Amino acid sequence: MRVAKDELKDLMKKKLHKAGLTEEHADGVADVLVHADARGIHSHGAMRVEYYAERIAKGGINTNPNFQFKKTGLSTAVFDGDNGVGHFAAKKAMDEAIKMSKENGIAVVGVKRISHSGSLSYFVQQAAREDLIGLSVCQSDPMVVPFGGAEPYYGTNPIAFAAPGNNGEMITFDMATTVQAWGKILHARSKNESIPNDWAVDKNGEPTTNPFDVNALLPIAGPKGYGLMMMVDVLSGILLGLPFGNKVSSMYHDLTEGRNLGQLHIVINPEYFTSINEFKQNISKTMADLNNIKPAPGFDHVSYPGQRSAEREQKYSEEGIAIVDDIYEYLISDTIHNDQYDNKDPFAK
């Protein structure tokens, strides 16, 4: 079914507030979630609300966190989220990184002790809207076999980047370092759809097209994706003195405890390197150049990174956001959660 963007955000905000978040934090989380759904990234949108609600209700997310922002240098800082809700903490940390970048040309802000923060494209677009370049990386559950390995060690460990062009245009790049994000597997399960055979493996390490048989994900491009997920783990885990590798907390293990996750925001001010007007003009020129590239057989055009998501966002703003009926029914119900995520095997059916 389709739901208007404002209505969907309001439903999610109310559910999260009912679960225990303050209205301000619930609004911040709902804004990140509806951003994901509006761009077609449903794996990081409304389908996550019940999981968050259960974790909030059971005390695994601090509903009254004592956020602490500490500058450690002219361009470096650490934002301690006190295991508050990750979306809101990451958004606040990016606000601080934007301020520092405007003052000093660059900012590197570590975000530590937070819960899952959702779609990283939201945070890098915060920077791009301020005529800055945004880069963000974060940890996630160990559910990916390293290249040549037979058991999970790293998480999907995503990377996101955004840069501004003219007239509000921007290039946005947001990817997991796996062939596909775990949330996409969950989305396939929610719709009872099959998955491509290069996304994941079953308990025997064999490729599978059944999302319910998935026992581990695969790194993108083999050793290259493996190297990227290692880099993300170092920057958002080891660098911040947090658990790393297969010691990163599970999304589903013991929802009464905080997850202590890490994220790193890097923000660059183009004015410290070139003319901002020239920079934005050249980003827009890059976007146009890519659109004008001769398409390969089977394609009608070449899209620049983030273009299809932006087009979806425009379409959904006019037609409403497509969400699964069961998720909508949950959002409009009086139920906070159905006690289905605590101590769940992340690969369970």
The pLDDT of residue 53 is: 97
The pLDDT of residue 125 is: 98
The pLDDT of residue 162 is: 98
- The CA distance from 93 to 267, in Å, is 11
Residues marked as catalytic? 116
- The CA distance from 267 to 202, in Å, is 39
Q: Is the pLDDT of residue 348 over 80?
A: no
The pLDDT of residue 231 is: 98
Q: For residue 25, what are its two tokens? A: 């934090």
Q: Residue 273: which residues within 8 A CB-CB, separation 6 or more?
A: 279
- Beta-carbon count within 10 A of 239 CB: 16
The pLDDT of residue 54 is: 97
Q: pLDDT tens digits, residue range 328-345?
A: 999 999 999 999 888 877
- The CA distance from 236 to 265, in Å, is 9
pLDDT cut 70: percent of the chain above it = 99
- Tokens 């007239």 identify what position? 167
Average pLDDT for 97-107: 98
Average pLDDT score over the chain: 94
Distance of CA 56 to the CA centre of its chain: 19
Q: Is the pLDDT of residue 57 over 80?
A: yes
Q: Is the pLDDT of residue 204 over 90?
A: no
Q: For residue 14, what are its two tokens? A: 């109310």
Report yes or no: 290 and 304 within 8 Å, Cβ to Cβ. yes
- Which residue segments constitute the domains of the chain, with CATH numbers given? 2-275+310-332 (3.30.1370.60)
The pLDDT of residue 202 is: 86
The pLDDT of residue 207 is: 86
- The CA distance from 308 to 302, in Å, is 10
